[in-house]
Amino acid sequence: MIESLTSLAIGFNIALQPQNLLYCLIGVTMGTLVGVLPGIGPTATIALLLPATFKLSPISAIIMLSGICYGAMYGGSTTSILLNIPGEASSVVTCLDGYQMARKGRPGPALGISAFASFIAGTVSIFGLILLAPTLADFALKFGPPEYFALMVMGLAVVAYLARKSMAKALMMAVFGVILGCIGLDPITATPRFTFGVLELADGIGIAPVVMGLFGIAEVLENLGVLRKAKVFAGKIKGLFPNREDWRRAIGPIARGSLLGFLLGLLPGVGAIVPQFLSYALEKRLSRHPERFGTGEIEGVAAPEACNNAAVGGTFIPLLSLGIPSNAMTAILLGALMIYGLTPGPLLIKNSPDLFWGVIASMYIGNIMLLILNLPLIPMWVSILKIPYSYLSSFIILFCLIGAYSLNNNTADIYIAVVFSLVGLLMKKFAFEPAPLVLAFVLGPLLETALRRSLILSDGSFLIFIQRPISAVFILFAFFVLVVPLFSKLRLARGLSEED
């Protein structure tokens, strides 16, 4: 513990350097902006800014990109409360009571409690990260290829289980993601695989054009021809500080939301969206007046907002200690770490302590920046929403094209982004979810290497995955997650839908 605190002090020393403070500020501001704007999310933004970070030190770059992740959670709630439109998928639940609070003339306290809950939860998750990540990384040193393979299978199984539509379709997308991720040269024999003679595919398909297409351009295509005129809250927003009664009612939900979000964020595959629904459902169950939820209860804003922020901190633990991303957003960050020449995994903390502790310290500083900057700047974020969507959509397309191109300075990546925008659009229309595809796309090559090494280790026996205790636990969990829904209608997603 003392060792961790000493390392954290060094981390603060790094994060407080003027250059890192500036990039932290840029990151959280960009995050808030994309959180406010519907149509472009943190995943596409990180991919877009990735090429711009090549000239920075890896620490400054990851500080900025992490800032986008948690900044987006703050920004997403603003549109949920004032417009009833979630800026991010992870702010959907905040609409239910946040917008009702605004309609009842209390937009200020709704925005205020949302920001404070986010800050408290962010703080909780950072301390969790400090305590757990190094311990987990030490534990993960015992992991061999079978354990990694089993862990990744478990992550993909959880993503499929949490799919809000068809679980079979989510699994299909995960498998398709693995196939796409493995395109390119065989890592062992260097044989070209499914490249169809196209030179650009020899290095595999890049994550940036895939994300730009699936999450950026596809969103714009879907909204073509749809008149989107946001009804921005017209009244003056005042009284951002919640009163004593608000605090009394909100403090319990904030604590529970923080804990729940952090713990669920730890699980590979969960991300920040599902914990928010669970947190809302939990508060509704615990409330003496569940019938009031959805009519402007402050608990219905505080808990999910705390939860989605804490979950972001939680998702950084498998990423930084195991090298396993939990969702599309952290999958891009994993790609970024690799581009900077770092090897994500249990040795990251030992080999690059400056990066690990510097990023953690910057997250705390970033949370303070968000709290200080966000509340006074809410009118400015609201005014940005008045920009016509026709302009925004064209700019989103432009930024996605630049982002896809500039990573390798290759127009082939623009073609890939365009192809995946059509794929993403069709996926939306045919009820296929993109998250399992992106996660599996990033995990695919790691999964393949782990599988092949495991089989070589075991002399071709698949039993290796259940003979080793850690991988057996992961495989058993994955099996449980995949098989239980076949016999039960009690799928979490269905339960949540009913809860909605």
Partner 1 sequence: MKKTKTTAANAVALFWVAVGVLVCYGATRLGLGSVTEPGSGFIFFWSGLILVLLSLVALAESLRGSEEGIPQIGEMNWVKITLVLLSLLLYAFFLERLGFVITTFVLLSFLLGLIEGTNWARAFGVASAAVLGSFAIFELWLKIRLPKGIFGF
Q: Which of 9, 131, 431, 483 binds partner 1 (CB under 8 A)?
A: 431
Q: Which pair of tokens denotes residue 172?
A: 């299909």
For the bound state, the minimum distance from the C-beta of residue 290 to partner 1, rounded and expressed in Å, comes to 26
- Closer to partner 1 by Cβ: residue 115 or 182: 182
117-125, 232-240, 250-258, 405-413 -> range binding partner 1 (CB under 8 A): 405-413
- Closer to partner 1 by Cβ: residue 209 or 358: 209
Q: Classify residue 229 as exposed, middle or buried by CB count within 10 Å of its CB (0-12, 13-18, 19+).
A: exposed
288 binds partner 1 (CB under 8 A): no
186 binds partner 1 (CB under 8 A): yes
Q: Which of 2, 3, 5, 191 binds partner 1 (CB under 8 A)?
A: 191
Do 126 and 363 contact (CB within 8 A), yes or no?
A: yes
Residue 494 CB: number of other CB atoms within 10 A? Answer: 13
Do 134 and 321 contact (CB within 8 A), yes or no?
A: yes
Residue 380 CB: number of other CB atoms within 10 A? Answer: 12
Q: Which of 399, 479, 492, 499 binds partner 1 (CB under 8 A)?
A: 399
Q: Which of 27, 38, 51, 275 binds partner 1 (CB under 8 A)?
A: 51
221 binds partner 1 (CB under 8 A): yes
Q: Which of 194, 203, 231, 232 binds partner 1 (CB under 8 A)?
A: 194
CA distance 261 to 131: 16
- Closer to partner 1 by Cβ: residue 225 or 469: 225
For the bound state, the minimum distance from the C-beta of residue 477 to partner 1, rounded and expressed in Å, comes to 19
For the bound state, the minimum distance from the C-beta of residue 60 to partner 1, rounded and expressed in Å, comes to 13
- Closer to partner 1 by Cβ: residue 82 or 407: 407
CA distance 431 to 364: 38
Q: Which of 19, 243, 390, 467 binds partner 1 (CB under 8 A)?
A: 390
| Residue 76 one-letter amino acid | G
Q: Which of 2, 5, 409, 498 binds partner 1 (CB under 8 A)?
A: 409
For the bound state, the minimum distance from the C-beta of residue 416 to partner 1, rounded and expressed in Å, comes to 10
Q: Which of 18, 225, 379, 469 binds partner 1 (CB under 8 A)?
A: 225
- Closer to partner 1 by Cβ: residue 8 or 425: 425
Which CA distances in Å does 362 have to 31, 43, 302?
14, 20, 24
Do 73 and 121 contact (CB within 8 A), yes or no?
A: no
Q: Which of 135, 351, 394, 467 binds partner 1 (CB under 8 A)?
A: 394
423 binds partner 1 (CB under 8 A): no
| Binding letters toward partner 1, positions 446-485, x by CB under 8 A | -xx--xx--xx--xxxx-----------------------
13-21, 66-74, 115-123, 426-434 -> range binding partner 1 (CB under 8 A): 426-434
Residue 418 CB: number of other CB atoms within 10 A? Answer: 17
CA distance 436 to 168: 11
For the bound state, the minimum distance from the C-beta of residue 11 to partner 1, rounded and expressed in Å, comes to 26
CA distance 391 to 294: 33
| Binding letters toward partner 1, positions 339-378, x by CB under 8 A | ----------------------------------------
**Closest residue by Cα to residue 63 from 31, 99, 98, 37:** 31
| Contacts of partner 1 in 122-181 (CB under 8 A) | 165-166, 168-169, 171-172, 175-176, 178-179
Which residues make up the interface to partner 1 (CB under 8 A)?
A: 51-52, 55, 165-166, 168-169, 171-172, 175-176, 178-179, 182, 186, 188-189, 191, 193-194, 217, 220-222, 224-225, 390-391, 393-395, 397-399, 401-402, 405-406, 409, 411, 414-415, 418, 421-422, 425, 429-431, 444, 447-448, 451-452, 455-456, 459-462
